[in-house]
Structures are given as C-alpha cells and as structure tokens.
Amino acid sequence: MIGMRKPFIAGNWKMYKTAGEAISVATILATELSGEKDKKIMIAPPFTALHAVRDVLEGTPILLGAQNAASELEGAHTGEVSPRMLMDAGVAVIILGHSERRHIYGETDALVNRKVRLALSEGFEVILCVGETLEERQTGVTEKVVETQTAAGLAGVGEKELSRVTIAYEPVWAIGTGKNATPQDADAVHKFIRGVLAKSYGEKASQAMTIQYGGSVKPDNIKDLMKMENIDGALVGGASLKPETFLPIVQYDR
C-alpha cells in the first residue's frame, strides 16, 4: 500500500458466534487494540450480537460493522434488517455484495447497488465486495467481472460519497478455501480496479480509495499482501473469528 491510504483491516464473522461468544472475542480485541491509531479496524458480528458488541467497543478504535443490510428502510420485508435498525445498533460500516450474498442468495448487481446507495444516503460507510469465481478466472474474464461489479455497484454514487466506500476484492475461489491469490496476482486486480474507479471519478479520487483484499488472509500471508502498492487492507473471514489469528493480522507491521 502507499502512504496516503490508511490500512483498513476488517473481520467478517459470518454466521458464527452467539451474543455471549461475540462479547468474549470483542472484549479481548478491544483491550489489545485500544492503542491502535494508525489503522482502521472493524469487526462485523452477526446481527443478533450487534447491540452487545457495540457496548464492548464503545470508546475503542474498533468500528462496528454489519454483514448486510436491506435495500429498503422499512416495510413488509420479512427477515430483512433495515439500515436504520443498524444505525440504531451502533453500526458504522456495512459490508455489501459479499460473494456469499451474491452466489448463495442470488443478489444481483442491481440489488447490491440499491443497497449501496441507501446505506450511503443513511450516512454509513460501505465495503463493496467484488470478485470472480474460479470458472470466471479460468476463462479469462476476471477483469470484466470486477469491472462490471464495481461500476454497477457504484452506479449513481457521487464523488463525495465515494470517500465512504471501500472496495474489497475477494476472488470467490479464495474465500474460506485456504487458497489465496498471490500478492502479485491480487495487486494486479487491485490496480485494475483503481483504473476502473479513475474512469468514473478521476485519478485523484481513485488514488485515495482503499481497496482491501479478501480470501484466506492469515497471519502468515498478511505481511506480503500489505507490501503491495495497491493492497490497502484486508477483509478477513475465518481468521477473524479468534483473537489468536486476528490480532497478528491487524498488527502485521509489528
């Protein structure tokens, strides 16, 4: 990464942890990371643990994240969680377009875009996830896929709001599989995404954007990833569930 962008390490706890378990892990992270000033840190517990974890994180530098949000503010949407409810729960950042939402729950670019615009208009920061499947990589359409997902996901988002958006490049074949992209391969896609952003928002805005890598990030590969010019942080799934693995990722530069 380059100096002007602050490293951003985020943990996605997916569908793991009861409220009690979430409090235990968040308490350790809050204590251990209380002095971190030079990085942005976020954890995204499941919805049911948000209120409890908010209380633990209060006064610490760790931001509270949500893993998804509805594309509407309220109404007859059984099972959905509105951005307003997330604001009430203390959430600052919402992860949208995660590949598990796209591929298991059929979220389209159009739906992800509605969610992104609504979340931004409600004052949140957003992590917009993009990434190709194994088949797409093997057929040589990685750039096309990430360009489409990035441009469609951000359609209608103005330059001012862009400062509250982080892109997470997460090759689907690397998520939860133990296979990660090489730092060089990941950096090449990050550079490409930065170019896509520059087309719509200009070079200066694109250089200021944080682009995280996600996909089997572990304590032993984070250092090499963070050395790359266009990799500004990580979105971490499995390894964010335990302090023993998440803390060394956050503190990769120690």
149: left (phi over 0), alpha (psi -120 to 50) or beta: alpha
CB 63 within 8 Å of CB 42: yes
170 is catalytic: yes
Does 132 bind ligand PEP (CB under 6 A)? Our answer is no
Site string for ligand PEP, 228-247 (x = CB under 6 A): -------xxxxx--------
d(CA 178, CA 221): 11
Does 94 bind ligand PEP (CB under 6 A)? Our answer is no
Of the residues 5, 9, 12, 194, which one makes contact with ligand PEP according to CB under 6 A:
12
CB neighbourhood size of 47 (10 A): 16
Query: Strand (E) positions, 139-232?
Result: 165-169, 210-214
Q: What's the min distance (Å) between Cβ of 113 and ligand PEP?
A: 19
Phi, psi (rounded to 5 degrees) for 49: -105, 0
Q: Which is nearer to ligand PEP, 2 or 15 (CB)?
A: 15
Q: Which is nearer to ligand PEP, 170 or 232 (CB)?
A: 170
Does 97 bind ligand PEP (CB under 6 A)? Our answer is no
Count residues contacting ligand PEP (CB under 6 A)? 14
234: left (phi over 0), alpha (psi -120 to 50) or beta: beta
Does 10 bind ligand PEP (CB under 6 A)? Our answer is no
Catalytic residue among 58, 98, 136, 143: 98
Catalytic residue among 107, 125, 132, 170: 170
Span 208-227, contacts to ligand PEP by CB under 6 A: 214-217
Q: Which residue's Cβ lies closest to ligand PEP? A: 237
Span 134-193, contacts to ligand PEP by CB under 6 A: 170, 175-176
Nearest to 13, CA basis, from 176, 126, 168, 180 = 176
**Amino acid at site 175:** I
Q: Which residues contact 137 (CB under 8 A, 6 or more apart)?
A: 171, 173
List contacts with ligand PEP (CB under 6 A): 12, 14, 170, 175-176, 214-217, 235-239
Q: Which residue numbers are catalytic?
A: 98, 170
